Structure 1
């Protein structure tokens, strides 16, 4: 396996088989209280402290041109490497900087990459199945701030693979990505996971837009304490699963203590949010899930989920779906209305529960309370 240790491509989702029980109706469920794993207080912050060195280097001083044609990868790496051991900030003035994602910009510990207004990193077209505009691998205390990071999906020279990533965070701790627009990648806009068995820990994604990527807006695999807030994941389409956010560690490890708050997931060809097994302590709150082709939120055997105060409407399937062996989940105080638009007019009133929420018989320890659904016909 490639050293990035990314998961294999998931099997295609069988939406029709999931839909039949939704439209037929639901048997009565025995609901029980949900005991979520204990956590040591509030661990999340939209603006956490990150230890960054005091030195500053302008990437232009290391030969970057930002003219939209020159390969500036080496200049970026030279600027990062020129910082002292204590780290510092690499400043990127306005301009279009062409980046060889097969080599990547490789971040060091205690380092900030600061893109000024009008600064864009644009990936040079390539045919590689695996490539990354920015690697945050096995480091700590890193921030990426501002600007645009644009992939090459429409100009990609190959046809295989799905692992062309915008920002790849593996085995790293205390990482913040903020005020960045990531788009048009062959794979995922952002990817958070493990490197050689070491999970990423304390990763904050704040005020980020991830749009028109081919596989996912954001993938979270083995990781802990990941806070995604005030961000937008939209228009993902091209290769499965095509979700806005996918939390899917598979058999590589566990994803724990993940919080998605005040985000927008819209226009994705798959689900707005997708959850799988080997996860726990997942909070999904105050998000807007609209016009996704699949579910607003779909759990396929996820566990210890707290889904509350979200607004899901006009999604192709139900607003919230709990399937497979999903268990110990709470679905409460959500507004779930006018979903299932793949099979029902988005403007048609009525439909009630079967339109907006799906909980299959195979799940257990599920609590529902105070959800606002479409009015019954």
Structure 2
């Protein structure tokens, strides 16, 4: 789903399908809440550290602290620096957002919370990273305003929105209760000519109970999602943990999803759609999603799906559909899926040329329109 208004409608084709069946930064000084270097991969050196409290932030759970965050960010020199956020509950106007800039570390204490003020808009952002380079965000929590949202339309209330930016690293953050997606990574610009985000890493992030998706990925080139959890998406379709769907705006390329948990979403655990290529999904757990565990549709290509576990999903654990091509699915464990259609289990066995003599259609489905799909050493 596009972050720009021209891409606000999800294609009816995709929704009908669903019904039927997600570096080297310049050195910047660390503040008192820095994690060990071995965890951060971050080097301590010179550069100003601006504490948001010194710019007037209260963190008392009542005061609108948006202007204080803006003042702290604007106080950094163009060469870079750190904005530090001590423990507290900081109230943020998501209609204004915290707009990060290039060459900065945005460092929140583990118990620092950014809580969105309720609004009635279809679109809002707690943190925006737009047209930036060399940004690191670490620690803290984002709590969206879905529970007190006074509007009824739209699905674009974001916790963290990254667009047309490069060299962005997000770690050790908890995001929940957003009106739309917990995290969006994508592009700015018109169809076929948008500026994608590049070299973005999401590491050890939990995105849970968001209304649309835990993570959506639009046009990008070079994204790594690792050691993270995307769970409990519910409220407006597709309600997936991760949705890779650049649509006509551009291409999503070179994406790795590694050691993640995608669970208990009201839709499909993970979706991959058209204009997508070069995706590796490994060492992940897809569990308890109401739809498919992992579904490819439209015409994505060059997919590697390896060493994942698919269990207890409402529909088929792994579905390779549409005109998906050039897929390697190997070493996966698939068991106890299609829980919404247990009555099909008795007729689920079929032969396969993959080397797995007895595959369960309730666990793995490869549609006729796909091509160059290689299956090996999967366990049922």
**2:366 matched residue in structure 1:** 359
TM-score by length of 1: 0.87
Kindly indicate whether the alpha-carbon contact (under 8 Å) linking 2:3 and 2:156 is maintained by their aligned counterparts in 1. Answer: no
| Cα 1:233–1:3 shift into 2, 3 Å | closer
1:200-239 CA-partner distances (Å, limit 9, x unpaired) = 0000000000000000000000001100000000000111
1: CA distance, partners of 2:338 / 2:81: 50
* Match for residue 306 of structure 1 among 304, 307, 316: 304
2: CA distance, partners of 1:80 / 1:68: 21
Kindly indicate whether the alpha-carbon contact (under 8 Å) linking 1:52 and 1:89 is maintained by their aligned counterparts in 2. Answer: no
**1:145 matched residue in structure 2:** 138
3-state SS in 2 of match to 1:260? strand
3-state SS in 2 of match to 1:180? strand
Q: Report the Cα offset of residue 48 of structure 1.
A: 6.2
Kindly indicate whether the alpha-carbon contact (under 8 Å) linking 1:89 and 1:114 is maintained by their aligned counterparts in 2. Answer: yes
1:130-184 CA-partner distances (Å, limit 9, x unpaired) = 1000000000011111011000001001000000000000000000110000000
Kindly indicate whether the alpha-carbon contact (under 8 Å) linking 1:53 and 1:111 is maintained by their aligned counterparts in 2. Answer: no
Kindly indicate whether the alpha-carbon contact (under 8 Å) linking 2:132 and 2:166 is maintained by their aligned counterparts in 1. Answer: yes
Moved segments of 4+, more than 6 Å: 48-53, 345-348
3-state SS in 2 of match to 1:238? coil
1: CA distance, partners of 2:43 / 2:197: 15
| Cα 1:359–1:216 shift into 2, 3 Å | same
| Cα 1:110–1:345 shift into 2, 3 Å | farther
Kindly indicate whether the alpha-carbon contact (under 8 Å) linking 2:344 and 2:362 is maintained by their aligned counterparts in 1. Answer: no
Equivalent residues, number = 346
TM-score by length of 2: 0.87
2:176 maps to 1:178: no
Kindly indicate whether the alpha-carbon contact (under 8 Å) linking 2:345 and 2:362 is maintained by their aligned counterparts in 1. Answer: no
3-state SS in 2 of match to 1:210? strand
Structure 2 unaligned spans of 5+: 22-38, 350-358
Structure with the bigger RCO (C-alpha within 8 Å, sep 6+) is 1
2: CA distance, partners of 1:121 / 1:220: 23
| Cα 1:204–1:240 shift into 2, 3 Å | same
**1:236 matched residue in structure 2:** 233
Kindly indicate whether the alpha-carbon contact (under 8 Å) linking 1:105 and 1:134 is maintained by their aligned counterparts in 2. Answer: yes
Q: Report the Cα offset of residue 347 of structure 1.
A: 12
**1:337 matched residue in structure 2:** 335
| Cα 1:256–1:49 shift into 2, 3 Å | farther
Q: Report the Cα offset of residue 303 of structure 1.
A: 1.3
**2:58 matched residue in structure 1:** 65
1:1-377 correspondence runs (5 A):
3=4, 6-11=7-12, 12-15=15-18, 17-18=20-21, 54-196=47-189, 197-301=194-298, 302-344=300-342, 352-373=359-380
